Amino acid sequence: MGWKKIKLGEVLKNREGRYKPNDPTIAGLKRIDKINFSGQIFLSDKGSNTDMILIKKGDLVISGINVEKGALAVYEGEEDILATIHYSSYIFDTDKIDIDFLKVFLRSPDFIQLLKEQVPGGIKTEIKPKHILPLEVYFPETTMEQKAIAEHFFEKEAKLKQLNEHLAHQLTLISQLEQTILQEAVQGKLVPQDPNDEPASELLKRIKAERQKSLPAGAKRRQEKPLPPIKPEEIPFDIPENWVWCRLGEIGESTIGIIFKPSQVGKIGIPVLRANNVQNGKIDYADLILVNTEVREKQIANAGDILLCVRSGSNNLIGKAAMIEKDGMSFGAFMSLYRSEFNSYILKFMHSDIFKKQINDKKSTGINQLTQGTLNNIIIPLPPLSEQKRIVAEIEKQLAKTKQLKEHIIANQQATEQLLKALLHQAFEVKEMEEVNS
């Protein structure tokens, strides 16, 4: 009983054969689309321009790009399948190797370390049979010992997976709690009403009057399609008597971002914010680009403006919003700037599911964009100005608590990931102890 040094080529044999995509020998066979990090194989009928390899039932299939992350599996299907040459397929000797043990090993830090030591380029190299088969490893001498190690690891891994699922569920509950806080805020249920507050209807009248006064003498506001009156069927819930329903276009203005060419991006120019700069409701100023172009005054942001993603390949990104904290930046054409004196409250509204639901209800089918017309027509429950300030303060107070809870849970998730890595290393620690004692 003990561990012995072998080359992986002693227990694995590469399945030979390479086929052109149009080779009639492989016509009609499905191919691997991907192997996920849980070891699940996903098949596809789509073609490929890349040379292919053949895989038979019982073969160990390894992704050359993500093997160390767990992208490997034993193919259990009855029909032969294909994979691109970015994968490799192996026949293994069950008398010499327990396949579950081998899969554990290929996910371990020890395997990654061996790649770094024995393969030029280490894990950055696409791993092929010529890299795997010559690797010198220490394995238990018997498959019984190998199997026992694998079963012990899987038992511990299952418990950690259960813990991670519990932690993920807690994060989901916290996100739901945050939405409940925002929902109560915009329904007038988060803070007490003050009868001394000026009604929001008066505030709205004053806004309209001030916007009209802001025009130069004799000037007329640019002809725009007037915002329609709010219909009763548009109103999703009741609000306090001193609140008022209005449209975003009545209490603020929006502007679409600049269009620029790749040749205008360089080391000089105006900083331009894009969708990737809006992260988790905040502006991330990393990865700003500089664009050397003329920019209209309205396309230059002020601190306190709201930046929204209004066009994207992903529907989930439409409407994500954050407040800009610095003056003097512009923003790309897939973004919109919203400016209002009530932005602190409006941003909280934009983070709510109520805002997101309106976007999804109003946007064109199959088109992931939020037009300026649609944005301006979004209805919002507007509280008195004093209450807006109380609402924002209370939201920030409560969300600070949920943020602490999230950080604690995420720290626990990271700890379980580190523990899993430690268990993977521990599975091969006996070998190291024997080396020291020999």
Pairing of strands 81-84, 52-55: antiparallel
CB of 378 closer than 8 Å to CB of 228 = no
Per-residue pLDDT of the chain (438 residues; tens, 9 = 90+): 589 999 999 999 999 889 999 999 999 999 999 999 888 999 999 888 899 999 999 999 999 888 878 888 999 999 999 999 999 999 998 999 999 999 899 888 888 888 888 887 766 678 889 999 999 999 999 999 999 999 999 999 999 999 999 999 999 999 999 999 999 999 999 999 999 999 999 999 999 888 877 665 555 555 456 899 999 999 999 999 999 999 999 999 999 999 999 999 999 999 999 999 999 999 999 889 999 999 999 999 999 999 999 998 888 899 999 999 999 999 999 999 999 999 999 999 999 999 999 998 876 556 788 999 999 999 999 999 999 999 999 999 999 999 999 999 999 999 998 998 888 888 877 555 455 444
Across 333-346, b (16+ Cβ under 10 Å) vs e yields ebbbbbbbebbbbb
CB of 7 closer than 8 Å to CB of 14 = no
Phi, psi at residue 328, to the nearest 5°? 90, 10
- Sign for the CA dihedral angle at 66, 67, 73, 78 comes to positive
Measured CA to CA, the distance from residue 261 to residue 267 in angstroms comes to 14
Strand ranges in 103-159 using DSSP code E only, listed in sequence order = 136-140
Measured CA to CA, the distance from residue 54 to residue 77 in angstroms comes to 13
Geometric angle at alpha carbon 65, from 63 and 71, rounded to 5°: 40
Measured CA to CA, the distance from residue 319 to residue 263 in angstroms comes to 29
Q: What is the pTM of this model?
A: 0.80
**Spatial CA neighbour of 321 closest among 382, 254, 262:** 254
